[in-house]
Amino acid sequence: MVIMSNRCLIIRFAMALGAALSCGSLSGKESDADFSADNIRVPIYQGNSVLPASILTAEEARPVGTKIELKGVKLNWIGDAISDVRGVVTTPSAVCNRATKQVYGSEWVKYRSDALDLDGVGFDIDQVKQIIHVRSQVKVVIKGKLETTRQRRAAKGEKLHVKPETVKRLISMAEGLKNPSIDSKNKSPEKQKKIRLHISTILWWIFGVAAVALVILSVMSEVKSRRSGRS
């Protein structure tokens, strides 16, 4: 009987912690309760969807007020099925906001997927929208061509987890992580050559217009002077 009672307590405790991580309704003194758990696994849902948008796992979890401090964090972004993992985020520690379902931290973070690898320091993650913002020391690796990946997986009879729109979103996300004050594209020789060509074309066009205007003004002045001389 004692063993059964202990198991019931463990199950209830795990359910309570899972509800807390998935923005459960803890308030007042209950939200400040000092309890912790190890090796948790919590699905994060969007609205009334039966399929989770993300699955959060952590080696340690300790609620602090309305937030939860996590250690050994792993976040799987789910696609069309529970086995369809489109991306994996890992970090040694993070904080989960139960009200917004956001996860953030200042440690290193890694994102891995079939289309893109991302490393950096400091991050903000929207578990429902599957968006990650990395704050600094960002390194991005875009892997090969999507068509090649599709053909390779189709030959093996595997399901392709990455859709074209997902790749576009990831590439857009990677470009958004760059420092907006630095446009690396403009540093390429070809880009600089095109810019110089456009500038020279515009300058020649301005000079041409100015020359034509001067000619017209001189002709008008000459005509005016002749008319005044005749009169």
* CATH assignment at residue 117: 2.60.450.10
pLDDT digits (tens, 9 = 90+) for 128-148: 999 999 999 999 998 865 555
Min mean pLDDT across 101-105, 118-122, 191-195, 207-211 is at 191-195
Instruction: Label residues 66-80 b or e (16+ Cβ within 10 Å = b).
Output: bbbbbebbbbbbbbe
Say yes or no to pLDDT of 152 above 80. no
| Domain final residue pick, 139, 155, 181 | 181
What is the pTM assigned to this prediction?
0.51
The predicted model gives 45-63 an average pLDDT of: 92
Same domain, 28 and 57: yes
Range of the domain at 60: 2-181
* Neighbouring residues of 139: CB distance < 8 A, sequence distance ≥ 6: 118, 119, 120
User: Which residue in this structure is represented by tokens 């991580």?
Assistant: 21
Same domain, 130 and 223: no
pLDDT of residue 148: 54
Q: How far is CA 88 from CA 76, 119, 145, 177, in A?
A: 5, 12, 20, 18
Same domain, 28 and 41: yes
Q: How far is CA 185 from CA 129, 137, 143, 175, in A?
A: 29, 19, 19, 11
Same domain, 90 and 108: yes
pLDDT of residue 28: 34
Same domain, 71 and 106: yes
User: Which residue in this structure is represented by tokens 């002045």?
Assistant: 221
At position 155, the amino acid (one-letter code) is A
Q: With bands split at pLDDT 50, 70 and 90, how would you rate the model's confidence at 32?
A: very low
Is residue 117 a contact partner of residue 140, using CB atoms and an 8 Å limit?
yes
- Pairing between β-strand 54-64 and β-strand 37-44 as defined by DSSP bridges: antiparallel
Same domain, 172 and 195: no
Same domain, 84 and 66: yes
Q: With bands split at pLDDT 50, 70 and 90, how would you rate the model's confidence at 98?
A: confident
Is residue 173 a contact partner of residue 131, using CB atoms and an 8 Å limit?
yes
Number of domains in the chain: 2
Same domain, 19 and 99: yes
At position 229, the amino acid (one-letter code) is G
224 or 184: whose pLDDT is higher?
224
Same domain, 170 and 187: no
Is residue 110 a contact partner of residue 35, using CB atoms and an 8 Å limit?
no
Sheet with strand 85-97: strands edge to edge: 37-44, 54-64, 67-78, 85-97, 102-112, 116-126, 131-142
Q: With bands split at pLDDT 50, 70 and 90, how would you rate the model's confidence at 169?
A: low
